[in-house]
Amino acid sequence: MLRVGINGFGTIGKRVADAVRAQPDMTVAGVAKRTPDYEAEIARDRGYSLFAAAETTPFTAAGIDVAGQVRQLVAASDVVVDATPAGVGERNRALYEELETPAIYQGGEDASVAPVSFNARANYDEAVGADAVRVVSCNTTGLSRVLAPLEERYGIEKVRATLVRRGGDPSQTGRGPINDTLPDPVSIPSHHAPDVKTVFPELSIDTMGMKVPATLMHTHAINLTLRATPTAEDVRDLLTAEGRLLVIPERLGIDGAGKLKEYTRDAGRPRGDVWENCIWAESLTVEPLSDGRADCYLFQAIHQEADVVPENVDAIRAIAGLADGPESVERTDEALGIGCGLAGIEPDTTAPARDAASDD
Ligand code: NAD
């Protein structure tokens, strides 16, 4: 069993810890936290060995036993997942390098933190045996997953994506906006396009970012020019076959992130997590161009707290050389139950796929 230490037990770290614990080939060596808050109590209650990122005194004063300091956790781990706030991972890098523990960083870090920016569907092999890997952000993960099969099957000439981003996670009470819709950043392209290019260096992509008063999910409006002219149904079948893409049939009546989250809670997902990209089937539209190319459109929702979690598990296997990409993804998905609970979702064969000609 591979021993995995998790440094940072917040929104991402606690989910990664639970996902690692569910795997058949890895175990949680411990988790590290800076603050003895409610999440530290959860770590203790779930039986994780808890290490202090800084002083142990605040933990003992709060009545929470700690197993030691983060240095001991890193030394006892075969791989460490750094899920500390953006920028802190870079500062932790010297410790991981000194103790020669391969490290996985998150998308809040600059791409220079690791030699590989990772998405399991797009570039798993590049991370095999690496010393360090950065799992790209929630938005870049969501884009990479949907772009990889389209690029492989049809070739992509150009991507234009507008990312309507949640203002903050539900627990981030200090974030906003609370009564506005912000172009964020105002300049174009937003930082997401260069980030996607860390995974697909040759891709032509422009992104525009917004922030809105919502906490549940991001919504992407994507338009891409394909180097072929599939039908909308072809594209829908292609995307439906991808395990981490959930094509939502119209008949479910899911009109946004609220119902999506309610659906996953009803289905018994832990924390109501949606690990998959959620693509609205009726948004999939293909408009043939005159020269053998086609414009393709879709809307997808991305659960920012959850979509990077299976990617972290795959990054652990890649960095440790435990499996090849397809094996790892299959093992991760089976252990987490990706595709389960929501498995009743099948392609909606009763509703004809709409293409531009029939679109009103
Ligand atoms: P978070 O604030 O929810 O959790 C961070 C955790 O790290 C907390 O437990 C905190 O106590 C702990 N911590 C703070 N300083 C520390 C230190 N010096 N050493 C060890 N632990 C420390 O943050 P998050 O939202 O989980 O984000 C973590 C990373 O994941 C960031 O790079 C972020 O950009 C990225 N990410 C976040 C999201 C998201 O939507 N929340 C999505 C994808 C990627």
Examine the residue annotation and report whether 138 is marked as an active-site residue of this protein.
Answer: yes
CB 257 within 8 Å of CB 214: yes
Q: Whose CA is nearest to atom 8 of ligand 1?
A: 10
Instruction: Give the predicted TM-score (pTM) of the model.
Output: 0.95
Å from CA of 76 to ligand 1 middle: 21
Can you say whether the dihedral through the CA atoms of 163, 358, 155, 311 is positive or negative?
positive
Q: Which element (helix H / strand E) includes 257?
A: helix 257-266
**Cα end-to-end distance, the chain, whole Å:** 55
Q: Is the CB of 199 under 6 A from ligand 1?
A: no
pLDDT by position in tens, the chain (length 360): 999 999 999 999 999 999 999 999 999 999 999 999 999 999 999 999 999 998 889 999 999 999 999 999 999 999 999 999 999 999 999 999 999 999 999 999 999 999 999 999 999 999 999 999 999 999 999 999 999 999 999 999 999 999 999 999 999 999 999 999 999 999 999 999 999 999 999 999 999 999 999 999 999 999 999 999 999 999 999 999 999 999 999 999 999 999 999 999 998 999 999 999 999 999 999 999 989 999 999 999 999 999 999 999 999 999 999 999 999 999 999 999 997 667 455 433 444 333 333 333
Q: Which residue has the tokens 């997590």?
A: 273
Strands 79-82 and 103-105: parallel
Alpha carbon of 6 to ligand 1 centroid (Å): 11
